[in-house]
Structure 1
Amino acid sequence: MLKLADSHVHLDDASFDTDRDAVIARARGAGVSLQIIPGVDTASWPRIHALCTPGSGLFPAYGMHPMFMHKHQPEDLSKLSHWLTAHRPVALGEIGLDFHERTVDAEGQRDYFMRQLMLAREWDLPVIVHARAAMDEVTTTLRRIGKLRGVVHSFSGSLQQAEQLWKLGFHIGIGGPVTYERAQRLRSIVATMPIEYLMLESDAPDQPLSTHRGQRNEPARVTEVLQCIAQLRNEAQERIAAATTANVRQLFAISD
C-alpha cells in the first residue's frame, strides 16, 4: 500500500462528529497515514490539540482564517502566541487573504495575516496559507516579510503565480478541484510542475472530487487525487506518492 500524506484536512469540523473515528480508519485503510489539521479560529485550537495525540498520525497547526474575521479579536494574536508556547504545532495556519466577497474586511484581513506571518517567522514555523482572489498580494506579502516557508493550499492561480511561489520556496497544495476536467489551467500546471513543490490535500469536509459532487469530502479520497495527478503527469503513482509525502514530512519536520 502506498503511504500518503494529506497536507490539509479539517478533521475537527462538526460534520465529522458522528463518525470521526470511522473517517480516520478509512483514511488509514487507504494509505493516508499522515494528516495536517489546520485551525481556523481560537475555538478550533483545543479541538485540534485533543485530536492530535502522539502516534495518531494527526499533526496540528494553529491560526486564524481570513473567512472567520467576525470571530477574531485583537487579543487573539496574544492568545496564539501563548498557545504556540504551550502546544507547539507543526505549522501556523490556516492564515491568509480572501477577497472573493466584496463585503470583506480587507484591511482587517491584512493586519491579521501580517501579524501571524511575523509570529511564524519568530517561531520558525512553516505557514499554511489560504489565498482566494488575492494571490498576487499574498505572494508580495510573503516576499516582503521574508524568511518564510510553507504551502499555499488549494492553489487556483496561474502558472506565473505558481512560479513566484516556487521562487520563494513555497509548495502548492492540490486536491479535489484538479479532478474536474473544466479546471484546465490547474491541470496544466500540475502536469508539468516541479514535483518538489507539490503536496496532496483533501481539504475535507470541503472540496469534494468530481466523482463525489455534493458529498462531504473525506481524507481517504486523497488516493483519487493521486490517481488523477499521476494520469496528468504520465507518471507512476508510487513516485508521486513518495515525493509528495516526503515534501510534507520535510516542510513540517515530521520524522518517518
Structure 2
Amino acid sequence: MLIDTHCHLDFSVFKDLSALLVASRSIGVAHFIVPSTTAESWSGVVALQKQHSEISVALGLHPYFLDSFKHHHLEQLEAALLTNDVVAVGEIGLDKWPRMPDYELQQEVLLAQLKIAQKHHLPVILHARKSEDDLLKVIRQARFSRGGIVHAFNGSLEQAKRFKKLGFVLGIGGTVTYPRAKKAQRVLQALADEDFVLETDSPDMPVSGYQGQVNTPLRVVDIARVVANLRQQSVADVARYTSANLQRVLPNWHKV
C-alpha cells in the first residue's frame, strides 16, 4: 500500500475526484492526506473527508496566503480542531520565496499554530521553502514536541538530521525524479528507512516526464519507483516502511 501524504484534493482542478481515487486505488495508492491552506478552505477539506473514507485531513494556515490573515483565524482554528477529526495541524510554515507575505507575520502565525498543535496533542505538516533553519528555531521557541512531516523537503542532510531529532519525517516528492536533482537524490540515499514518507503535492510539483500536466496522486507510484531505484530497494519495501513512518508520526491517520 502506498500513501500520498500531501495532496490538495480540494482544489478545483480535480473535477472528478471519485474517479481519481478509484484509479489511484487500482494501482496501489490507498490513502491520501489533504492539508488545508486558509480558514476559508477548512470546510471544503473536512467535507472531502466525510465523503471519502480514504482521505484524512489537516487544518492550518499556509504562509503563502497570509495576506488575508486575521487574528481571529487562530481562534477559529482551535475551535475547528475541537469539532472535526483531523490528523495534524497544517499546512503551516515559512516561505522565503520572493513576494511572499511579511516574514515576521509568517513567523508569528507559525509560532501560534505550533502552540495550538502542542496544546491539542497534534503533529504538524510543515511548509519549508528556503527557511529550514528558521523553522527549526521557531519549533524550539514554541517548545513543540509532537513532530510531524516536513513537506517537500529540499534541505541539507544536516538539516534533515535536526528535524529527525525533533520527531519529524521528511516528505519526498517529485523533485527526486529529475536527473538534475543530484543534491536531493544524495540526501535521499543517505537517509535511513525511518526518515521519510512519500507525497505528490498535487496538483503541483510534477514528476519528471509529466511536466505541464496536472499532478495527481497516481504519480506516487512513479516517485516510489525512483526512490526504490536510488536506494536499491524494492517498491514493496518502500511502500511498507513509508506507511509505517506515517503511522508513527501521524498515528490517527487510519482511524479517521
Query: TM-score, normalization: structure 2?
Result: 0.95
1:78 correspondence with 2:68: no
Indicate conservation of the 8 Å contact 2:67/2:101, yes or no.
no
The separation in 1 between residues aligned to 2:101 and 2:113, in whole angstroms, is 19
Residue aligned with 2:33, SS: strand
Partner of 1:169: 167
1:227 correspondence with 2:225: yes
Indicate conservation of the 8 Å contact 2:168/2:249, yes or no.
no
Match of 2:156 among 155, 158, 163: 158
State the one-letter code of the partner of 1:181: P
Cα deviation digits, residues 46-91 of structure 1 (max 9, x gap)? 1111110276210010000000012221110000011011113110
CA drift at 1:179: 0.2
The separation in 2 between residues aligned to 1:144 and 1:188, in whole angstroms, is 30
1:30 correspondence with 2:17: no
1:43 correspondence with 2:40: yes
Indicate conservation of the 8 Å contact 1:205/1:216, yes or no.
yes
1:87 correspondence with 2:61: no
Alignment root-mean-square deviation, CA: 1.4
Cα deviation digits, residues 110-150 of structure 1 (max 9, x gap)? 11100000000000001000010111000111123232311
1:53 correspondence with 2:50: yes
The separation in 2 between residues aligned to 1:79 and 1:185, in whole angstroms, is 40
The separation in 1 between residues aligned to 2:151 and 2:218, in whole angstroms, is 18
Query: Is the deviation greater in 142-151 or in 119-128?
Result: 142-151
The answer for unaligned runs of 5 or more in structure 1 is: none
CA drift at 1:103: 5.4
Partner of 1:137: 134
Indicate conservation of the 8 Å contact 1:4/1:245, yes or no.
yes
Query: Is the deviation greater in 140-149 or in 68-77?
Result: 140-149
1:65 correspondence with 2:62: yes
Indicate conservation of the 8 Å contact 1:40/1:94, yes or no.
yes
1:119 correspondence with 2:116: yes
Query: TM-score, normalization: structure 1?
Result: 0.95
The answer for unaligned runs of 5 or more in structure 2 is: none
Q: Which runs of 4+ in 1 moved over 4 A?
A: none
Q: How many residues align?
A: 253
Partner of 2:105: 108
1:10 correspondence with 2:12: no
Identity %: 37
Indicate conservation of the 8 Å contact 1:142/1:148, yes or no.
no
